Amino acid sequence: MQVSSPATSRALTGWAIVLVAAVAGLAGAAAAGAAEQEAPLEPLVANPDNGQLLYAQQCARCHGADGRGGPMQEYEGIAPSLRPDDNPNIEVAYLDLVFSTGRMPPAGSPYDNRTREVVLDEQERADLVAWMADEFDIDGEIPEVAEGSAARGQQVWNANCSHCHGATGAGGVAGAGAWTPSVSDKSAQTIAEAIRVGPFQMPQFEAGQISDQEIADVVAFMDEVQVEADEQILGIPELNPVFASAFVFLLALAALFLIGVIGSRPRWFPTPPEDLRRERRADVPAGAQRRAPADRGES
């Protein structure tokens, strides 16, 4: 039986350590992610005093200290009033929606309809909404979303939403060149607010058109779409049995190639010179060098 050389054993040991460390790292990351997802979220407690400060810093220069709106200093246009007696479209869900999607306060032009950077975090958003609701007498509440059915939600989505936002909520260009944002990665609260508020060019859906349960179903469908997007392999949305078999075959070939590389003393684990000399001496038959001179004399 052939015994593997010390260099080969050392190479295999080194690669085994690398593989074990990689697996341990991936397992640790997965465990940390699971623990983070399972950690209970503490309810936010709004701080209206901080909301007042945020309004002065982020909103007052366009909407005015009194919230009545007016001409904007930096852009050609009129900032709308944030008071319900001037603007009947203003409600708590509307405020929360424009803040959570980055529509307000805008990082750039308020007329840029493309996906925007969200300036306020969740706590700041709660603080600002709480202060504005009290200061400007804005009614309404943040909607709560129940459990829904993705299958029913797909039907509601196809009937009411897909013609603008696409079959999977990816958004894009709708009729008359209007731009629609992606909603597949939005929170349940944001989707529910958009359906009820109907911001900007989007139509508003009352409970008689889309019920609260149907909103929950749409949210469940969007969650399913996002899960499937996260599970894509190399960006491939889905693999039929033929492509899946070919993919597994290629993975098996790659694994065999790596095994061959690991077992062939790769340069990542070089053989020390003294071990290399020892291996070469072991390959020479005993007494071969002593017989060589005699053999040359006989010839």
Say yes or no to pLDDT of 289 above 60. Answer: no
Which tens digits make up the pLDDT trace of 123-134? 999 999 999 999
Say which residue, 168 or 31, is predicted with more confidence.
Answer: 168
Say which residue, 277 or 96, is predicted with more confidence.
Answer: 96
Q: pLDDT band at residue 196, thresholds of 50, 70 and 90? A: very high
- Per-residue model confidence (pLDDT) at position 183: 87
Q: Give the length of the chain.
A: 299
**Helices 273-283/6-38 angle, 10° precision:** 130
Q: Which of 140, 157, 159 is nearest to 215 (CA)?
A: 157
Say which residue, 246 or 160, is predicted with more confidence.
Answer: 160
8 Å CB contact between 114 and 126:
no
Which tens digits make up the pLDDT trace of 9-63? 666 666 666 566 665 665 565 555 555 444 455 778 999 999 999 999 999 988 9
Average pLDDT, the chain: 77
Cis peptide before 88 (omega within 30 of 0): no
Which tens digits make up the pLDDT trace of 223-273? 998 877 665 555 444 444 555 566 677 878 887 777 766 666 555 555 566
Which tens digits make up the pLDDT trace of 176-194? 667 788 888 889 999 999 9
Instruction: Count CB neighbours of 135 within 10 A.
Output: 16
Say which residue, 65 or 236, is predicted with more confidence.
Answer: 65
- Per-residue model confidence (pLDDT) at position 93: 94
- Per-residue model confidence (pLDDT) at position 238: 47
8 Å CB contact between 202 and 194:
yes
Question: Residue 71: phi, psi to the nearest 5?
Answer: -60, 135
In angstroms, rounded to a whole number, what is the distance separating the alpha carbons of residues 91 and 140?
Answer: 6
Which tens digits make up the pLDDT trace of 1-10? 444 556 556 6
Q: What percent of the chain has pLDDT over 90?
A: 36
- Per-residue model confidence (pLDDT) at position 299: 46
Strand partners, 179: 173
Mean pLDDT of 95-101: 92
